[in-house]
Amino acid sequence: MKDFAPPAEALRPPTVSEARLLSVLDTAADGIIVIDEHARILIFNKACETMFGLSAAEAVGQNVKLVMPTQYARDHDAYVGSYISTGVKKIIGIGREVQGLHADGTVFPLELSVGEAATPDGRQFIGILRDLRPRKESEQRLADLQSELVHLARVSAIDEMGAAIAHELNQPLTALMLYLQAIRRAHSRGVDIVTVLGDILDKAAGEAERAGHIIQRMRQFVEKRDPERHVRPLDPLIDEAIDLTLLGQRHRIRIDRQPGVDLPPVSVDPVQIQQIVVNLVRNAIEAAAGVADPAIRIRTRASESSVVLEVQDNGPGIAPEALPKLFEAFASSKRRGMGLGLAISRTIAQNHGGDLLVDPGGNGSGACFSLVLPAAAMPDEVG
Amino acid sequence: MRVHVVEDDAGVSDSLALILRNIGHSVVSHRDAESLFKGPLPEAGDAVIVDLSLPGISGAHLVRWLLNLAAPPRVVVITGQSQGFIDHQLRGLVPDGVMRKPLDVDAIAGVLPAP
């Protein structure tokens, strides 16, 4: 009891209602601090003792700045003073995320809601505090898991494209080996190839470089990295992703690429956006594979404050019964793959403040997927 | 006697032509089946090296057409694709050779007529 009572009244036994109040305060899972008009701590409950590593005896009577990091502490008196003189509420009745200072110097996030009471002893402010660390930790864990899953889907896409990529690598390797065999042959037969040797070696080196580029492009795509944001024009990212998707494709598809004019940049994780493009283009190629003249239209355009990428195929469209589960994970109608592509793509789009939409087509027109991303407001705002 | 190379990959086509000329062959390069059809047709003493994955008319179609000629040339298939793909494409077709990429030039030379 002495823990909560103002020092001046420490010797007076509490009344029944006071005792009840004190017991309620002690039982509360949230931290509760009551201060007076001068920001002096009147009440500091048990949850606060744990939260800040201070006993009530140490806290009561002190300015509440005691449990605030320097930045907040500096401004707090001014806030209280400003409210008392102007009556403009900055936090009272609103609640917000602030930072607390533990006795050991740790600064941690807190959710703070403040109420106000007029008492015979003057105006008092009641703060209810919740340590946000457990919530932040679970949010972080969720974000980590999601990023793992996004990466997993990317690795899976490359895995599914493995045979095609092996074929694509085989071309420069074949050429490289033939150039080397030609030199070897001429050399072992004593043929004078001095005049053309430099040219052949240049070509051989060019082929080795080509193989290196393919591996580099793949590696950039599958490498595990933390999510990031960069302000970038969208079209070059899309073109790179199309190149990656078409690695080792067996040609017979027409790609009609229509880049946008004067598109604003977007603030994106470039690899994640390319992951969406790879997924959409692969799906489109697959959807159009059965028609006589398979073709895909890939268009970018500005729309109000967004940038839109459309991937339209000329396949049969999406069956109405497949539509409700289209964006669900593991609901793929395909034999290969994990069925994560569209689910992950939509998650990525939404994490970017955008969305992934579909026009299912049918009746002679193919499906059209639209990736909508908000235009970046200021190119130098995010880095 | 001529060796026709039908291969859309510029690097593979160029290096293959180089080494075949090196061996003493007269080489004509085509980037697809369509361009082969535009020139004089391969004769019985010629050889045609066909990449299985061609743009436009497929490699398998070209192989079938060549083997059905009254006096077919030697036909050698080259490919970087999987065995499953090769089997599927070549159902019922028996070319003179099937070579997987990367290519061994001695193996190809063994199937071609002597220059």
**CB neighbours of residue B109 within 10 Å:** 16
Most confidently predicted of A143-147, A344-348, B11-15: B11-15
Q: Which chain A residues have a beta carbon less than 8 Å from that of B23?
A: 185
CA distance A339 to chain B (A): 24
Task: Give residue A71's pLDDT.
Answer: 81
Distance from CA of A295 to the nearest CA of B (A): 14
Cα–Cα dist A176/A182, whole Å? 10
Q: ipTM of this predicted complex? A: 0.91
Over residues A37-56, mean pLDDT: 93
Indicate the pLDDT class of residue A247, thresholds 50, 70 and 90.
Answer: confident
Please give the class, per CATH, of domain A141-374: alpha beta
pLDDT-based confidence at residue A5 (cuts at 50, 70, 90): very low
Secondary structure, 3-state, chain B: CEEEEECCCHHHHHHHHHHHHHHCCEEEEECCHHHHHHCCCCCCCCEEEEECCCCCCCHHHHHHHHHCCCCCCEEEEEECCCHHHHHHHCCCCCCCEEEECCCCHHHHHHHCCCC
- Residue A128 has what pLDDT? 94
- The β-bridge partners of A342 are none
Residue A28 has pLDDT above 60, yes or no: yes
Q: List the CATH number of the domain containing B44.
A: 3.40.50.2300
B15:A179 CB<8 A: yes
**Residue to test with chain A: of B3, B20, B22, B82, most A Cβ within 10 A:** B22
Residue A26 has a pLDDT of 87
pLDDT value for A332: 66
The class (CATH top level) of A7-131 is: alpha beta
A142 and chain B in contact, CB less than 8 A = no
Whether the pLDDT of residue A105 is over 80: the answer is yes
For residues B32 and B55, is the Cβ–Cβ distance under 8 A? yes
Indicate whether A368 pLDDT > 90: yes
Tell me what percent of the residues of chain B surpass a pLDDT of 70: 100
Report the phi/psi class of residue B76: left, alpha or beta, with left for phi > 0 and alpha for psi in -120 to 50: beta
Which residues from B are below 8 Å from A250, CB to CB?
53
The residue-averaged pLDDT of A233-259 equals: 86
The least confident of A31-40, A202-211, A370-379, B13-22 is A370-379
Residue A248, pLDDT score: 64
Indicate the Cα dihedral angle A286, A292, A298, A304, nearest 10°. Answer: -100
Average pLDDT over chain A reads 86
Confidence of residue B83 (pLDDT cuts 50, 70, 90): confident
Q: Once rounded to an integer, what is the mean pLDDT over residues A157-183?
A: 88
Contacts with B, A 205-264, CB within 8 Å: 206-207, 210, 250-252
Q: What is the pLDDT of residue A335?
A: 55
**Residue whose structure tokens are 């027409």:** A254
First to last CA, chain A: 53
pLDDT digits (tens, 9 = 90+) for A186-203: 888 888 888 889 999 999
Residue A247 to chain B, least CA–CA distance (Å)? 13
Q: How many folded domains does chain B comprise?
A: 1
Distance CA B91, CA B102 (A): 23
What's residue A217's pLDDT? 81
Work out the minimum CA distance from B20 to partner chain A, whole angstroms.
9
Q: Give the model confidence (pLDDT) of A212-233 as tens digits.
A: 988 888 888 888 777 789 999 9
**Assigned token pair, B95:** 């070319």
Contact A203 B11 (CB under 8 A): yes
The answer to whether B80 contacts A174, with C-beta atoms less than 8 Å apart, is yes
Which residue of chain B has the CA closest to A210?
Answer: B11
Say if residue A114's pLDDT is above 50. Answer: yes
* Segments making up each domain of chain A, as ranges: 7-131, 141-374
Find, in chain B, the residue whose alpha carbon is nearest to that of A171.
B12
Query: What pLDDT band is residue A382 in, cutting at 50, 70 and 90?
Result: very low
Can you read off the two tokens belonging to residue A14?
A: 């509490």
pLDDT in tens, A293-349: 899 999 999 998 999 999 999 999 998 888 888 888 766 666 555 567 888 899 899
Q: State the pLDDT at residue A1.
A: 42
